[in-house]
Structure 1
Amino acid sequence: MKLLVSKKIRRYLLFLVMITVAVVEVPIIAVGQLTKPVPSDTIIVLGAKLIGKQPSTMLRLRLDEAVRLYTAGYARAIIVSGAQGADEIATEASVMHDYLVAKGIPAAKILLEDQSYNTHQNLLNSKEIMRERGFRSAVIVSNASHIRRSLVLARQLGIEASGSAAPMADNAYLTAKQYAREGAAMLSLFVLNQQ
């Protein structure tokens, strides 16, 4: 009898986990695939880990997407956002700036925001730069797994924004890890908003 109850409880818990994953992860995946950028005043590129003085794969993919958008005329300026992490030798913003300049973006068109350590701070501090420059709208660039939460936070902060999802790294483990991380972050954001 005890074994039967235990099996039922395990099945029930597994069902709850599957439903939760579906409810949380499906919108993250959908927004990452379906979001489209809208011509705006600026592009905001959210920071990510550095490898020495080089952007990580995820960050490079974001920066390449920003180059594509800028070249296609989606915005007249780019805000690069990210501080120096404890394990980094430079600010993410400075490395992003140098990468974009090397790709042909004029240095004068790149605005640095180098005080933020998380997505909320990235957007809050970028909003202040937008206010100072008279920018009203932005295209937020991040990887597909991160774009939904970025847009939710932008809306909460009153930023008029569309999104442009950079691809994920060509690494199944890293991709799964990023989606799991974002699922947990979205759940946390939902819980905080209910308080």
Structure 2
Amino acid sequence: MGIKKLRLICLLIVLFISILIAYSAYTIWSFSQEDQLVHSDAAIVLGAAVWGDQPSPVFRERINHSISLYKNGYVKKVIFTGGKGSENDYTEAEVAKDYAIENGIEEKDILIETRSRITEENLIYAYDIALFNKLKTFTIVSDPLHMKRAIFIAKDIGMQAYSSPTPSTQYKSFKSQAPFLFREVFLYIGYICSSPFRNSHI
């Protein structure tokens, strides 16, 4: 293979990757602005860090949004997700449950899963619990830039899922949004590329 041909191939590869990254970033950003506000059986709140027995500011705003959806009649149940960051920590889901009860959600309307450590596990384990409880439609709650990947995964595992990003996200400045967006682009592309090689979740 000649040098010119090799350079052309390399250029085309770089161009393709650049377009893929740019397009993914655009779709993630665009989708982050959508709130598919519908009535559903349950809100699934994706886990985030906890500080001792309290939710971190990021997680607190996700929980607050699910409380608003519940109190306004958009969801009947709330499923909190998230395991432990380390062995001695409280689980994210348990912290979220306690906070939600203190802020007006009936304990009987809360379900939790405490095993997950990543977004895909959040949704898979929550779906297992939902199916056991005969819940069929879901409102996914997280930060806006997280929603594109979360909804893609949810639908990939068979959920009838809708996006409702928290309007009070902690990621408001360019300084905080830029690394979040970069991370989501990387994870979104990685998930799409790995999908054909992944066994069915159900």
Pick the TM interval, shorter chain. 0.7 to 0.9
Runs of 5+ in structure 1 lacking a partner?
A: 1-10
> Structure 1's 121 and 66: CA in aligned 2 closer, same or farther, altered over 3 A?
same
- Structure 2 counterpart SS, 1:19: helix
Q: State how far apart, in whole Å, the 1-side matches of 2:177 and 2:137 are.
A: 29
- C-alpha deviation, 1:174, in angstroms: 2.5
Q: State how far apart, in whole Å, the 1-side matches of 2:180 and 2:113 are.
A: 24
Report the counterpart of residue 163 of structure 2 in structure 1: 163
Please tell me whether the aligned partners of residues 52 and 88 of structure 1 are also in contact (alpha carbons under 8 angstroms).
no
Q: State how far apart, in whole Å, the 1-side matches of 2:145 and 2:56 are.
A: 16
Report the counterpart of residue 5 of structure 1 in structure 2: none
- Structure 2 counterpart SS, 1:41: strand
Report the counterpart of residue 37 of structure 1 in structure 2: 37
- Structure 2 counterpart SS, 1:140: strand
Q: State how far apart, in whole Å, the 2-side matches of 1:173 and 1:88 are.
A: 32
Report the counterpart of residue 189 of structure 1 in structure 2: 191
Q: State how far apart, in whole Å, the 1-side matches of 2:12 and 2:125 are.
A: 44
- C-alpha deviation, 1:107, in angstroms: 1.4
- 1:104-149 residue CA offsets vs partner (Å, 9 max, x unmatched): 1111111111111111111111111111111111101011011111
Question: Aligned to 1:172, which of 156, 171, 174?
Answer: 174
Report the counterpart of residue 114 of structure 1 in structure 2: 114
- Structure 1 counterpart SS, 2:164: strand
Runs of 5+ in structure 2 lacking a partner?
A: 1-10, 198-202
Is 1:86 matched with 2:86? Answer: yes
- C-alpha deviation, 1:151, in angstroms: 0.6
Q: State how far apart, in whole Å, the 1-side matches of 2:33 and 2:138 are.
A: 19
- C-alpha deviation, 1:45, in angstroms: 0.4
Report the counterpart of residue 130 of structure 1 in structure 2: 130
Q: State how far apart, in whole Å, the 2-side matches of 1:179 and 1:151 are.
A: 16
> Structure 1's 26 and 80: CA in aligned 2 closer, same or farther, altered over 3 A?
same
Q: State how far apart, in whole Å, the 2-side matches of 1:17 and 1:122 are.
A: 29
Please tell me whether the aligned partners of residues 50 and 88 of structure 1 are also in contact (alpha carbons under 8 angstroms).
no
Q: State how far apart, in whole Å, the 2-side matches of 1:176 and 1:122 are.
A: 24
- C-alpha deviation, 1:64, in angstroms: 1.2
What is the TM-score normalised by the length of structure 2? 0.84
* Count of residue pairs the alignment pairs up: 188
What is the TM-score normalised by the length of structure 1? 0.87
Letter in 2 for 1:78: V
Letter in 2 for 1:115: R
Is 1:154 matched with 2:160? Answer: no
The alignment's C-alpha RMSD in Å is: 2.4
Report the counterpart of residue 7 of structure 1 in structure 2: none
The correspondence of residues 11-90 of structure 1 with structure 2, limited to 5 A, is 19-86=19-86, 89-90=89-90
What fraction of aligned residue pairs are identical, expressed as a percent?
Answer: 29
Q: State how far apart, in whole Å, the 2-side matches of 1:17 and 1:87 are.
A: 39
